[in-house]
Amino acid sequence: MALQAATSFLPSALSARKEGAAKDSAFFGVRLADGLKLDATSLGLRTKRVNTSSVAIRAQAAAVSAPTATPASPAGKKTVRTGNAIITGASSGLGLATAKALAESGKWHVIMACRDYLKTARAARAAGMPKGSYTIVHLDLASLDSVRQFVKNVRQLDMPIDVVVCNAAVYQPTAKEPSFTADGFEMSVGVNHLGHFLLARELLEDLKASDYPSKRLIIVGSITGNTNTLAGNVPPKANLGDLRGLAAGLNGVGSAAMIDGAEFDGAKAYKDSKVCNMLTMQEFHRRYHEETGVTFASLYPGCIATTGLFREHIPLFRLLFPPFQKYITKGYVSEEEAGKRLAQVVSEPSLTKSGVYWSWNKNSASFENQLSEEASDTEKARKVWELSEKLVGLA
Ligand code: NDP
Ligand code: PMR
């Protein structure tokens, strides 16, 4: 019965998507113009025009308390030093909730890798994250230059990098036409997959160099990219096809903006990007786990139906989606709970197994979940890796 109610909701949801809707670009954040950044010492009160690379570093001065090796406890037992975790897209939703959970544990310093400094600073303060427990560093995943600059800036912080969480994402279900990143890639795959692919590849070196006992690279996946689930069978379904669009550069000019080479569909582009995220995690595991000791993991944190991810969806969807997930599918999870789940994947000593796609059951206990056939296709993972390397300039 629940399913019946659910599927009767489907056509309207889908036709509404096709009709399109006004973009809610002012959602929550206050965006600064390019090159305009906050003077971090004034904590959000003044703006001035400065060079992006210097501001990211200067921003640290206000927020960082450099983590040091923790001295022996009074009992003489040696404790592990504060860990440093980079979280992309920590300005809202899952990323913010995870940053908060880690910061409040007192065991982590969080590097909030975000495209909007002011929004992130406000969000961290509003969430009550302890002062000195986080550092905000600018990162726009829609620009490979920004990713490279971010890596340089983070290295200048002179902190070991112990965990990297690739969490940021965009979802454009109502877009009629594709939009593109600075490098000309379709936006959803460009940000969610290619930006993170370059970031993760660059930071692997830093993870390798860290002396932290459990180093981890986590890429957030989703149930909707897995066609072995009911949620993954809601059209449009993820399908990377023969990767012809990715091979041609995803630029929509003389080639398709979609990975499978088909006509643009924003919802499908998002789901395809999540398949790429999950394939990438496994390919990292196969190539680098033994050599580096880094744990590579992905996860589905639950349906966090209230986050900004749905900001571009039509208002009716945003109104009905949370109760639909709460009372019908029962897949709903709060931002706080989802944040605790991702924080577990970052720091729980029991979750060190590499190559795993984590999920949680009704009692919020973690378990190793099965990926769909496509999301666990080793040959496809290799091809996505190789094509992505070329697109981001690593091969
Ligand atoms: P939110 O929209 O709340 O968070 C997305 C974050 O990504 C924001 O911080 C946003 O920044 C950031 N972001 C977007 N574009 C860029 C960019 N170009 N550069 C840097 N950062 C960017 O959504 P969620 O918290 O729901 O999503 C977090 C992750 O969880 C995503 O990977 C999503 O796929 C995954 N997920 C979510 C589910 C859900 O039900 N909500 C279910 C399964 C997985 P800004 O604040 O500036 O917009
Ligand atoms: Mg889905 C069994 C249940 C289930 C779960 C756990 C989700 C999660 N969804 C389920 C079922 C259904 N959804 C059913 C039966 C329908 C048809 C009515 C349905 C519809 C639906 C839509 C239109 N669901 C959606 C959408 C979106 O636009 C969301 C999406 O695909 O974003 C990419 C979404 C989601 N459902 C989920 C989850 C977690 C999402 C969102 C996010 C994500 O994967 O990141």
Catalytic residue among 117, 171, 270, 357: 270
Q: CA angle, 167 as apex, 163 and 170 as ends, to 5°?
A: 160
> What's the pLDDT score for residue 335?
98
Q: Is a pLDDT exceeding 80 seen at residue 74?
A: no
Ligand at shortest distance from the CA of 170: 1
- What would the DSSP string read from start to end of 280-300? HHHHHHHHHHHHH--EEEEE-
Q: What is the mean pLDDT of the chain?
A: 85
H and E: helices and strands count for the chain? 12, 10
> What's the pLDDT score for residue 185?
97
Going from the Cα of 224 to the center of ligand 2, the distance in angstroms, rounded, reads 6
> Which ligand 1 atom is at minimum distance from the Cα of 139?
20
> Which ligand 2 atom is at minimum distance from the Cα of 224?
44
Going from the Cα of 80 to the center of ligand 1, the distance in angstroms, rounded, reads 30
Ligand at shortest distance from the CA of 12: 2
- All domains of the chain in start order, with CATH: 83-392 (3.40.50.720)
The predicted model gives 379-393 an average pLDDT of 98
Going from the Cα of 305 to the center of ligand 2, the distance in angstroms, rounded, reads 9
Q: Is a pLDDT exceeding 50 seen at residue 69?
A: no
Beta strands 366-368 and 356-360: pairing type? antiparallel
More confident residue, 19 or 157: 157
- What ipTM describes this predicted complex? 0.99
Q: Is a pLDDT exceeding 60 seen at residue 32?
A: no
Q: Tens of pLDDT along 165-186?
A: 999 999 999 999 999 999 999 9
The predicted model gives 188-203 an average pLDDT of 98
Q: Tens of pLDDT along 285-342?
A: 999 999 999 999 999 999 999 999 999 999 999 999 999 999 999 999 999 999 999 9
Q: Report the predicted TM-score, pTM, of the whole model to 2 decimal places.
A: 0.86
> Which ligand 1 atom is at minimum distance from the Cα of 307?
3
Q: Is a pLDDT exceeding 80 seen at residue 64?
A: no
Active site residue 327: no
